[in-house]
Each structure stands twice: as structure tokens, then as C-alpha cells.
Amino acid sequence: MSKKIIIFFGPPGSGKGTQAEMLAKKTDWKKISTGDLFRAEIANGTKLGKSVGKYLQAGKLVPDKLTLSLVEESLKQKTSGFIFDGFPRNKRQLNDLLAVFRKRLKKNDLAYALEVAVGDKEVKQRLSQRRSCACGAVYHLIYNPPINEGVCDICGGKLFTRNDDKPKVIAHRLKLYYNESKSILDYWQKQGRLIKIAGEQPIKKIHEEIMEKLKKLKLV
């Protein structure tokens, strides 16, 4: 049987991580997110993990080569599919990944990119309404407000706007995302392997649209 590979894309605030998670649960495909890979290596105390930990502790980006070897390693897992979330981020990483695919995948394995599309206005609206607590809880003033204004339901802490969710920073993050993802999405588009999903609808509906489109392509 051929393996299926779905690579998720979407601007910050698109909820692509949530969707990747939901798809993984539904299909039992393995999710590959670089953040999870880093954490697992560090927790297992491997040689790679120690090296990754050094970069993260110093607040530095983990070099592509290191990330790629972790990704390649996780592609050895026995499963009928993989879901990528947060990798590749730019054209260079895409080329690296395609080289790994050529090495690790069989001819009839199928790789697709899936973009959860959300307009800039909606992204700004979603992120600017987000409030965080030091305990890790995240609220949305419209969709998921705290019971008492400005106070965390869980720990009673004072809520704040993360720097990342301030308008100026949001605009910068969006620009970065579109700059880096454009050439990647163009590549998949040219291959006829880009699935576009309308991200401006409720989480459940987005998931349904993803399942429908994957069914049509006989991927699930």
C-alpha cells in the first residue's frame, strides 16, 4: 500500500496545528512537527537531543541539517501516512525534504501540500483578540473569553497580550510567512499537489472540508 504524506501550511492564527492534530487522530498517520521532534530527542537524552538542546537554550535556531536528520529518522516509522506541521518553512528546507523523500519514499507514495487559507484581516482580528496567561492558558475575547475579564479561569493570573500577538508584530509575522511559503506553495501547485482549504470557518467545518477533499483524492 502506498504511504500518504500531507504537509500543512497556513499563516499564524490559521489553526493549522489543530487541524494537523485532528487529521492525525482520525487517520492514525504519524505527525511530524519539528517542535515535537526536538522535545522528544531532548527528553530521550540522545546525542542529537543534547546538541538540539544547546541551540534552543541559547535561543538560536536549530541548524537545518540537524532538523533534517531528525525528520529523516522519523520517516522510518511504520505507518501508512505522515503529517507535517511547521516544516519545511522555506525553499531550502523544501529542497532538503524532497531529497529525503526521494531516498525514503517509494514510487507510488503520495505527497500533497495542504494550505489552510485565512485572509490577513481575519488573522489580525484573531490574534489581536488573544490573551495569554503565564500558566500557558490562552483565551480569545470573542470565541473563548475568560469568565472574569482579564483574569485566568485556571490559575487566577492576570492575562496579557503576547508580544507576538501585537498588531505590529502580527504584520511582520504575516509578511515573513508569505515571503517564505510562496515559493513552496508554488512548487506544489505546479505539481498539481496543492489542496486549498477555507480557513475562515469553525474548526469542525474546516476538519470536515479537509476530510472531504482527501476522500476525493482517494488519500483516505
| Catalytic positions, written as ranges | 16, 89, 130, 162, 173
Give the residue carrying C-alpha cell 517509494. 106
Task: Classify 170 as helix, strand or coil.
Answer: helix
Q: Which is nearer to Zn ion, 86 or 157 (CB)?
A: 157
Least Å distance, CB 193 to Zn ion, is 42
Nearer to Zn ion, 63 or 150 (CB): 150
* Least CB distance to Zn ion at residue 199 (A): 28
User: DSSP characters for 16-55?
Assistant: HHHHHHHHHHHH-PEEEEHHHHHHHHHHHT-HHHHHHHHH
Return the C-alpha cell found at 95: 529542497
* Residue among 114 and 152 whose Cβ is closer to Zn ion: 152
Per DSSP bridges, beta strands 130-132 and 138-140 are: antiparallel
> For residues 35 and 86, is the Cβ–Cβ distance under 8 A?
yes
* Residue 129 Cβ vs Zn ion, minimum distance, rounded to whole Å: 17
Nearest distance from C-beta of residue 181 to Zn ion, angstroms: 33
CB nearer Zn ion, residue 154 or residue 203:
154
Contacts 24+ apart (CB under 8 A), 180-183: 180/89, 180/90, 180/91, 181/9, 181/89, 183/90, 183/91, 183/94
Residues in contact with Zn ion by the rule CB under 5 A: 133, 135, 137, 152, 154-155, 157
